[in-house]
Amino acid sequence: MNIESMITNLISDIRINDILDILITTFVIYKILEFIKETRAQQLLKGLLVLVATYFISDFLDLQVIHWFLGATFTVGLFALVVIFQPELRRGLEVIGRSKLTKGMIRQVEEDDARSIIQEIVEAVGQFSATKTGALIIFEREISLQDIIEKGTLINGRISAQLLGNLFYEGSPLHDGAVIIRGSKVCAAGCVLPLSENPELNKSLGTRHRAGIGITENSDAVALIVSEETGIISVARDARITRFMERRNVEKMLTELYMNDLPRLSGPFGRIGKRLGKRGKHATK
């Protein structure tokens, strides 16, 4: 049988189901690799692959002790992986379960109201930056932040520069916490957020920045951060942060958030996270 006949027979044996199976499997693997890219899970996965490779090499070279030890480790390791990858697994399941059939609260804001809200937030952030007033503003998107909101102080007030200024005023009892924005409302203030545990973050980033990044590791929220010490404006999204934002950049980000719900990020936002705060030169609170 020549090569041409073999190829013809192979093609004739392939079913539509086989092609569909291969495409789905390829897509799932691609999405998994895309999800863990540039996260802590990427480093853990590299270490796991080294152990797996060592396991097969030890079997090939008949290194019985190493082979037995790694085999026993893998038996228990399946349960350990659930614990190690818990943050990534949780976020992955949230992404899978995120419904696209309904619009988030941000998308439900009318265009005229959205433009007014954007201007109010930009004005407030500009004032915070100029006066070096620390601020942490979280925009809820499709993943609910209700559990965090309930632990804060309920506000349920329409967004305005004056309201945000009063909440983050240094004498305010709520100024150290985060403000959660849901659509056109300041939903809650004084909220405590989970801190990022990413070891690759710049050591100069303080609690406020780590909290802003932390909430984006556990949800699809967007965090707007103003440093209390330097007045530097930062934006965190998808566990990544971009610093040294100007007012026009903030306005552009908010416009994309309220008008398009961030389908894609261009300009400096397309590079969010590659820096991970590495440009920071000063400690921030």
First to last CA, the chain: 74
Is the pLDDT at 72 greater than 60, yes or no? yes
Contact (CB, 8 A) for 259 and 206:
no
Q: What angle do CA 5, 10, 14 make, to 5 degrees?
A: 145
Beta-strand relationship, 178-182 and 135-139: parallel
Note the pLDDT of residue 13: 67
What is the pTM (predicted TM-score) of this model?
0.65
Side chain identity at residue 132, one-letter code:
K
pLDDT higher at 130 or 35: 130
Q: Does domain 106-271 have CATH number 1.10.10.10?
A: no
Note the pLDDT of residue 95: 59
pLDDT higher at 274 or 60: 60
Q: Which residues contact 148 (CB under 8 A, 6 or more apart)?
A: 180, 188, 191, 192, 193, 215
Q: For the chain, give the percent of residues with pLDDT over 90.
A: 41
**Averaged confidence pLDDT in the chain:** 80
Q: Which two tokens stand for residue 253?
A: 């980000």
> pLDDT digit string (tens) for 61-71?
888 888 888 88
> pLDDT digit string (tens) for 201-234?
888 899 999 999 999 988 889 999 999 999 999 9
Biggest CA–CA distance in the chain, Å, is 87
Distance, in Å, from the CA atom of 34 to the CA atom of 38, rounded to the nearest integer, reads 9
Q: What is the DSSP letter of 192?
A: -
> pLDDT digit string (tens) for 225-265?
999 999 999 999 988 999 999 999 999 999 999 887 654 33
Residue 31 Ramachandran class (φ > 0 left, ψ -120 to 50 alpha, else beta): alpha
Distance, in Å, from the CA atom of 220 to the CA atom of 266, rounded to the nearest integer, reads 18
Q: Length of the chain, please?
A: 285
> pLDDT digit string (tens) for 74-121?
777 667 667 766 666 666 666 565 544 444 566 567 788 899 999 999
Distance, in Å, from the CA atom of 96 to the CA atom of 103, rounded to the nearest integer, reads 16
Q: What is the band of 266 on the pLDDT scale with cuts at 50, 70, 90?
A: very low
Helices 40-60, 16-36: axis angle to 10 degrees equals 120
Q: Where are the beta strands (DSSP E) in 32-184?
A: 135-139, 153-158, 178-182
According to DSSP H, which parts of 85-110 are helical?
86-97
Note the pLDDT of residue 280: 39
Report the DSSP beta bridge partners of residue 153. 189
Indicate where the chain has its CATH 3.40.1700.10 domain(s).
Answer: 106-271
Q: For the chain, give the percent of residues with pLDDT over 70.
A: 71
Q: Highest mean pLDDT range out of 51-55, 153-157, 168-172, 278-282?
A: 153-157
- Residue 222, helix vs strand vs coil: strand
